[in-house]
Amino acid sequence: MAERSFELNGNQMAFCARDLGLFLGLAVGMAAVLFLEPRFMWPVVIIMAAPLVIDGTVQLLTDYESSNFVRVITGALGGSAVALFLGHVADVVLKVR
């Protein structure tokens, strides 16, 4: 949907605002995992991913439409949660640290 994506230099982006948030969250989250080496905790990952799941589910089941700002924020939190989880998987599987 055109109203769910941003425009850059007068051109509509090929992905929605939530995807943009996911991309940003993954990038920032992976940088944090690599440089800050946060301790992995399931409750933190679940809490970070919950807004994305809640917002998407509510939109799917009701007539509610979140704003692009909310989509970017929930996407960024969800992307960061995925990055934290993937960093943990890499540690366990590759025994990097």
In DSSP terms, which residues pair with 11 in a beta bridge? 8
In the chain, % of residues over pLDDT 90? 68
| Mean pLDDT, residues 61-83 taken together | 94
pLDDT in tens, 38-64: 888 999 999 999 999 999 999 999 999
Using the predicted structure, report yes or no on whether residue 97 has a pLDDT greater than 80: no
- State the Cα–Cα distance between residues 22 and 72, nearest whole angstrom: 7
pLDDT at 3 over 80: no
What residues does each domain of the chain span? 41-97
The owner of tokens 């051109």 is 11
Q: d(Cα 65, Cα 46) in Å, to the nearest integer?
A: 23
pLDDT at 28: 96
Please list, in sequence order, all residues whose beta carbon lies within 8 angstroms of the beta carbon of residue 55, skipping any fewer than 6 positions away.
66, 70, 71, 74
Euclidean distance between CA atoms 13 and 30, whole angstroms: 24
8 A C-beta contact, residue 75 and residue 27? no
